[in-house]
Structure 1
Amino acid sequence: MPTTRQDAAVCHAEALVWEQHCCLPLDPDTDVDVLWRYAKAGASFVSVNAGYAPHDVADTIRVLSGFRRQLLARPDRYLLARTIEDVREAKATGRLAVAFDLEDTRPLGGRTDLVQTYYDLGVRTMLLTYNQRNAAGSGCHDESDGGLTDFGREVVAEMNRVGMVVDTAHCSYRTSMDVFAASTAPVVVSHTAARAVHDDSRNVWDDQMLACAATGGVVGINGVGMFLGDNDASTEALLRHLDHAVELLGWEQVGLGLDFCFDQAGDELTANPDLFPPSYAQWDRLEFVEPERLPAITAALLDRGYAPQAVEGILGGNFLRVAESVWR
């Protein structure tokens, strides 16, 4: 029997919708109020990127400080998420809980003690590498894969101690598998897609997904058309990857990390071309699944026969479970 609009609306309203990764322009004066688009689409939590490979410690602190200042100035809309209780409070009060993530370990400046500092500033997730090799390991676009380094193992151990979620999106195959083996806490692949569905080096193979799930972690499917297939950011393209991940892992290990970029002009690709392979430049405009599509994703999952419990898990309950296990 087809899902009615009312059924889908009720399911979406009851779910705690959790967006595991999105990107604002990395300028401390960026207007962060564009994040409210997620709240209007029914989300209660979003993880915002606050730094990546080109950024040093000073750059990252500036961005975090600017974003935090603006969010704290709007307590009517935003709640900086320190705990899981903060996320639940945001859901109960119609606000948007916000935490931060870092896409690379270069913002550590070679110091593992900064993991605690960033955690105290609201960073709850960090990737080990971004596309290319750094001091912690290899990236998904490296020609050779050296795996996780000794420094990388120290970073993973410190993240486990502090309560920061370890993330292998953008990591090489061997680095990700080494991280899954090294971490004593659940690991996530926050924003990726299934390489079995679309063979792109940014996507992950089935055995990587299985190894992530074995840690108790979650694989977040992104909404970037280039990775979903031929720059196709349709809901159907997204669902092909979600279906594959659920069939492989079970719905309990799958979530959403749409990787929506509020600056879609490609400024980062232009400013830092060495970080990206030539294939990134083949499209005049990259297509993304936008926040406003979240209710439609709920309806599409229900139409596909997913039970409401499974839909609520994919929309956010599964990433919430990981945060409950890891955050301190």
Structure 2
Amino acid sequence: MLRRTHEYDGYRAYSYLEADKDYQPFELAKQLDRVPAHDLQLDDQQQARVDRILDEEIVFSLHEHAIVLPEDGGQIRQYNQTGRQRTGYEGLAHSGLTAVIDNFMAGASCITSQHGWKWDDMIYALGFRLADLAKQSLVRHALTVDDILTAKRDGKIALIAGLECASMIENELDRIDMLYGFGVRQMGIAYSQANMLGSGLSERNDGGLTNFGRRAVDRMNKLGMLIDISHSGDQTCLDVIEHSQVPVMITHAGARSVWPIPRMKPDEVIVACAEAGGVIGLEAAPHTTLSDAHPRHSLESVMDHFTYCVDLVGIDHVTFGPDTMFGDHVAVHRAYASNYAQQADEIVEYEKVEYVSGLENPAENFPNIAGWLVKNGYSDEDIRKVLGGNSLRVLAQVW
């Protein structure tokens, strides 16, 4: 059982409503101990240091899906179509997190339409979850850096509403203002497929940032909305970095030099992002951040990307965006396979897993990351930077 790191009163998502009458219930996956714990073999002194760091420092995940999936993976599409994804409050109470950028798009996959993300879908998903957040006391919807610092002071968790891409704005620039008004503070440019702003990373040809995309970047800069390029094509990434007046982030990706698939970023993009003041958050979605040294996806695979990126751009420009959820992430990939980039097994061979050991969900990610950093001799100052300090520095410039 994971150590609880925040006070939690037992609230469950949408419990202010009546199941079956007000919303469709599902049997949900366990938020804690769904899979075996990842044993880092820390001694008592090392574990005490991890606990102290999690208690004292700002711990910030750049990208998660802090929601609970149905226990039955075959119900994922049906669950998402209701629009009411359940925030995993119990799991978050054990996470050690101070703040998390939560992707609100997963619940907008196909509410009112069968393909892609539509404006109405996004409003449903955003509105339902923010209404539920307003009914509980553990997680606070954060809009500013001060909100994050206040959450740390008060023993709460700051949740930042983020979107993985801007497809739902179509060619309506003012929709960015509307999303900002609804409380969205981070948005990606394109997902795997191209949109009106630029190319996604699965496209055969990357035309870069469009003229409309440049206007969208300008508008996000003026509003103070963090720009993410995790799922954008390489040229689109470089164009966004060059055009933006403030740093941008790669909130959840890895290094293509470590694992050669399109989902990872080439050195050129990682370096350009860092030189403009941004950061890269290392991700852990199943079968992404593997390595030759650790081809079975695990915490150790992800940390191979971490050490590579630190060597490439320095400790001040690297952090973590594990990109996890409570439940069977692999089942999500099966359900929405057509939405993603070219499959990794079409490019390189690797051993498939049912979950990523050590980085399976938001409850275990940062205790294990902190444990790995302690075990491998990183200083408190460097750990402070990569757990949250680097992200806060960038947000202070952008927001």
The answer to whether the Cα contact below 8 Å between 1:12 and 1:312 also exists between their aligned partners in 2 is: no
After TM superposition, give the deviation of residue 313 of structure 1 in Å.
Answer: 1.1
The residue type paired with residue 273 of structure 1 is S
Tell me which protein shows more strand as a share of its residues. Answer: 1
Secondary structure in 1 aligned to 2:302? helix
The corresponding residue for 2:326 is: 262
**Aligned pair 1:204/2:243, yes or no?**
no
Quick check: 1:29 aligned with 2:91? no
TM-score, normalising length from structure 2? 0.76
Is it true that 1:51 corresponds to 2:105 in the alignment? yes
Moved more, 259-268 or 123-132: 259-268
Residue identity opposite 2:53 in structure 1: C
| Alpha-carbon separation, structure 2, partners of 1:217 and 1:244 | 17
- Give, as a single letter, the amino acid of the residue that structure 2 aligns with 1:100: A
Give the gaps of 5 or more residues in structure 1: none
Amino acid aligned to 1:29: R
Unmatched 5+ stretches in structure 2: 1-42, 70-79, 110-115
Q: Does structure 1 residue 311 correspond to structure 2 residue 383?
A: yes
CA contact (8 A) 1:269 1:276 kept: no
The size of the alignment, in residue pairs, is 324
Partner AA of 2:86 in structure 1: D
1:91 to 152, 160, 175: 152
Residue 261 of structure 1: CA displacement? 3.0
Contact kept in structure 2, 1:226 and 1:286, CA below 8 Å: no
The letter of the residue matching 1:64 is L
C-alpha separation in 2, matches of 1:110 and 1:286: 38
C-alpha displacement of 1:109: 2.6
Q: Is the 8 A contact 2:249 2:278 kept in 1?
A: yes
Pairing partner for 1:153 from 180, 194, 214: 214
1:85–1:140 distance in 2 versus 1, CA, 3 Å: same
Report the Cα distance in structure 1 between the residues aligned to 2:265 and 2:190, rounded to whole angstroms.
15
Letter in 2 for 1:37: G
Provide the C-alpha distance between the structure 2 equivalents of 1:112 and 1:262, rounded to a whole number of angstroms: 34
> Aligned partner of 1:287: which letter?
V
Secondary structure at the residue paired with 1:300?
helix
| TM-score of the aligned structures, taking structure 1 as reference length | 0.92
1:73 aligns with 2:128: no
Q: 1:309 to 1:118 in 2, by over 3 A?
A: same
The separation in 2 between residues aligned to 1:20 and 1:42, in whole angstroms, is 14
Provide the C-alpha distance between the structure 2 equivalents of 1:83 and 1:60, rounded to a whole number of angstroms.
22
Give the SS at the match of 1:261.
coil
In our comparison, the structure showing a higher alpha carbon Rg is 2
Question: Letter of the aligned partner of 2:95 in structure 1?
Answer: A
Structure 1 stretch displaced more, 4-13 or 20-29: 20-29
Task: Give me the CA root mean square deviation.
Answer: 2.2
Quickly say closer, same or farther: Cα 1:71–1:199, change in 2 above 3 A: same
Higher helix share: 1
Alpha carbons of structure 1 residues 208 and 96: separation in structure 2 relative to 1, 3 Å: same
1:41 to 86, 89, 95: 95
The change in CA–CA distance for 1:140 and 1:35 in structure 2 (over 3 A counts) is farther
Q: 1:236 matched to which residue of 2?
A: 300
Distance of aligned partners of 1:100 and 1:232 in 2 relative to their CA distance in 1, 3 Å threshold: farther
Q: Which residue of structure 2 lines up, in the alignment, with residue 6 of structure 1?
A: 48
CA 1:39–1:213 in 2, change beyond 3 Å: closer, same or farther? farther
Q: Deviations over 1:35-93 (max 9, x none)?
A: 4423412101111111278111110011000010010100x211110111111111111
What is aligned with 2:36? none
Corresponding letter in the other structure for 2:165: D
CA distance in structure 1 between the partners assigned to 2:176 and 2:191 by the alignment: 17
Distance in 1 of aligned mates of 2:305 and 2:123: 35
Q: 1:271 to 1:222 in 2, by over 3 A?
A: closer
* Percent identity of paired positions between Structure 1 and Structure 2: 28
Structure 2 CA distance for aligned equivalents of residues 129 and 69 of structure 1: 27
Partner of 1:114: 175
Distance 2:276 2:99 in 1: 23
Residue 242 to residue 40, structure 1, CA distance change in 2 (3 Å): same
